[in-house]
Amino acid sequence: DAGVTQSPTHLIKTRGQQVTLRCSPKSGHDTVSWYQQALGQGPQFIFQYYEEEERQRGNFPDRFSGHQFPNYSSELNVNALLLGDSALYLCASSSGQRHYEQYFGPGTRLTVT
């Protein structure tokens, strides 16, 4: 049973560029949430997707956007990258019946130079 997978593992971008990160949820899960984890801190909620719609959003600017596909996989897009966007981006999935239990992927390490 495959867990949550994310790609790419690492990414280096220049300030002002745009980036797309990808996530495939755990088998049987239909809800995907994205979190940003700065070095030495706890993850911070960005947004959540269910039924291909953004259902909940944290305190992040509109530069952060996402998408969920019919197969429940998801993308996180960040425009106009800032140095402060450097972080580990985590994807978590859950299922409708046990939606509280979230399972995280290994993350994508984004470095903005």
Partner 1 sequence: GENVEQHPSTLSVQEGDSAVIKCTYSDSASNYFPWYKQELGKGPQLIIDIRSNVGEKKDQRIAVTLNKTAKHFSLHITETQPEDSAVYFCAATLPNAGNMLTFGGGTRLMVKP
Q: Are 67 and 81 in contact (CB under 8 A)?
A: no
Could you give the C-alpha distances from 63 to 4, 17, 25, 82, 98, in angstroms and in order?
25, 11, 23, 10, 30
Contact between 48 and partner 1 per CB under 8 A: yes
Identified binder of partner 1 from the candidate list 19, 21, 102, 112, rule CB under 8 A: 102
The CA distance from 14 to 78, in Å, is: 12
Task: Mark residues 60-99: x for contact with partner 1 by CB under 8 A, - for none.
Answer: ------------------------------x-x-x----x
The CA distance from 83 to 100, in Å, is: 32
Which CB sits closer to partner 1, 14 or 98? 98
Identified binder of partner 1 from the candidate list 19, 43, 64, 110, rule CB under 8 A: 43
Q: How far is the CB of 109 from partner 1 (least distance, A)?
A: 9
